[in-house]
Amino acid sequence: MTKNFEIPLSPAIACDPAAIADSDQKQYNLTLQQLIEFVQEIRDLPNGFSFRLPNDTETFLGAAEFVAHERKCCPFFNFTLALDAGGEFWFSLTGADGVKSFLANELGERLQV
């Protein structure tokens, strides 16, 4: 008897902390903490959250560095770094069903999400 099964179109919501090299862990954690401290505003999106950060080169590069590492351990996130014409910098974390509640659980206490 042949069984049919569905293959999910999006990755499972499961982190793999070992995907970030041990040599990068300290910088990754520092960058994450700095980004959290820099959040100026949070927008609630249907599939995640968007965070307004200071519009300076150091913060933008820090966010890009964070994405470079985070995408390895959490491939289920969609990342967006946006600089709008009004001078605001928005960093968005979104994804498929379940990502928003995952983010709220992970960041809720630190950001009052």
For 113, other C-beta atoms within 10 Å of its C-beta total: 16
The mean pLDDT of 49-76, rounded to a whole number, is 95
Does the model's pTM come out above 0.85? Answer: no
At 72, is the pLDDT very low, low, confident or very high (cuts 50, 70, 90)?
Answer: very high
- Is residue 93 within 8 A of residue 24, CB to CB? The reply is no
The pLDDT value recorded for residue 12 is 76
* Crossing angle (nearest 10°) for helices 99-111 and 22-38: 70
pLDDT reported for residue 92: 97
Q: Residue 47 above 60 pLDDT?
A: yes
Write down all domains in the chain, each with its CATH number in brackets: 24-111 (3.30.1360)
